Amino acid sequence: QVQLVESGGGLVQPGGSLTLSCAASGRAFSPICMGWFRQAPGKEREFVAVIGWNDGTTRYADSVKGRFTISRDNAKNTLYLRMNTLKPEDTAVYYCTARRGVGSLRPEDYDFWGQGTQVTVSS
């Protein structure tokens, strides 16, 4: 089994920055890609960003392009999401996820999920 544990969420003012981390563990951990999704109250879970675990190729949702950066440290089995110029509409629970297949925008395509970390952007 694979365990994903997110950290780094919190309360930040509009225009501020946060970095989320996701530590992965487990014998079965051999993803093809890892990503971040988010879910705001009353809304569906939505794609944020994905990265190829081996080749580092990235893809972003239009709403975060230019503000968020996804990266990974393969040696530490850790995924990151650097979030700059945060907006109130970025407020959500952010989930780390991993997939044995190529990157997808659909949450149902992913195999493993973390428990989520809350990000609140408010003055």
DSSP category for residue 88 = G
Residue 102 to residues 18, 47, 53, 109: CA-CA distances in angstroms? 27, 14, 10, 10
Q: How many CB atoms lie within 10 A of CB 86?
A: 22
pLDDT at 102: 87
Could you tell me the CA-to-CA distances from 113 to 14, 94, 110 in Å, in that order? 28, 11, 8
Q: Report how far Cα 110 is from the mean position of its chain's Cα atoms.
A: 12
pLDDT per residue, tens digit, the chain (123 aa), is 889 999 999 999 999 999 999 999 988 778 889 999 999 999 999 999 999 999 999 999 999 999 999 999 999 999 999 999 999 999 999 999 999 988 899 999 999 999 999 999 999
Total length of the chain: 123
Q: Cβ atoms within 10 A of the Cβ of 47, count?
A: 20
pLDDT at 103: 87
Count Cβ atoms below 10 Å from residue 39 Cβ, excluding itself.
15
